[in-house]
Amino acid sequence: MENKKMTLALFSGSLDKLTAAGIILSGAAADDMQIDVFVLLQGARAFKKEFAKDKNELQLAENAHLREEFLQSLKKLNVNEWYEFFQQAKEITNVKIHICGLAGKIWGAEKLEDFIDLADDIVGIGEYITAAEEADVHLFI
């Protein structure tokens, strides 16, 4: 039986939604799904080398006043950093992380080298649309 395909559009660059996406990726990877992540708009900023691992740069999407409580809870529960979830998923199964070319340009990043090593390529929106049409599971975060 062929592996199921999941497409995840990651629009948000907020710490809470990046963490949620990482947790979802972990579950899909454990289920041996083929996963394509398309990093769009604010998500592309979070994948830039200078921002990705800097917790001070990443806010919560909603209820910003809960940021410190969120971070303390993650630490207390020994929950991985968002990018560690992505890295582990890539080690387990076929995960490709595609950066939207326009999104990268919006944040001053035009080359693959401008993003963290998790990024596989820079693509146009048409590739995302095609992948979403072909996916068994399609999520937008």
CB atoms within 10 A of CB 56: 6
Domains of the chain (ranges, CATH numbers): 5-140 (3.40.1260.10)
Report how far residue 141's alpha carbon sits from residue 114's, in angstroms, rounded to the nearest whole number.
23
- The pLDDT tens digits of the residues spanning 11-21 come to 999 999 999 99
Alpha helices by DSSP H, 12-81: 15-30, 41-46, 49-52, 67-76
The dihedrals phi and psi of 68, each to the nearest 5 degrees, come to -65, -40
Instruction: Assign 3-state DSSP to the chain and report helix, strand, coil percentages, each to 5.
Output: 50, 20, 30
**Cβ pair 128, 100 in contact under 8 A:** yes
Residue 132, pLDDT > 80, answer: yes
User: Span 61-71, mean pLDDT?
Assistant: 90
pTM: 0.92
Residue 77, pLDDT > 90, answer: yes
Residue 1, pLDDT > 80, answer: no
- DSSP code at position 17: H
Average pLDDT, the chain: 94
pLDDT, residue 51, reads: 84
pLDDT band at 58 (very low <50, low <70, confident <90, very high): confident
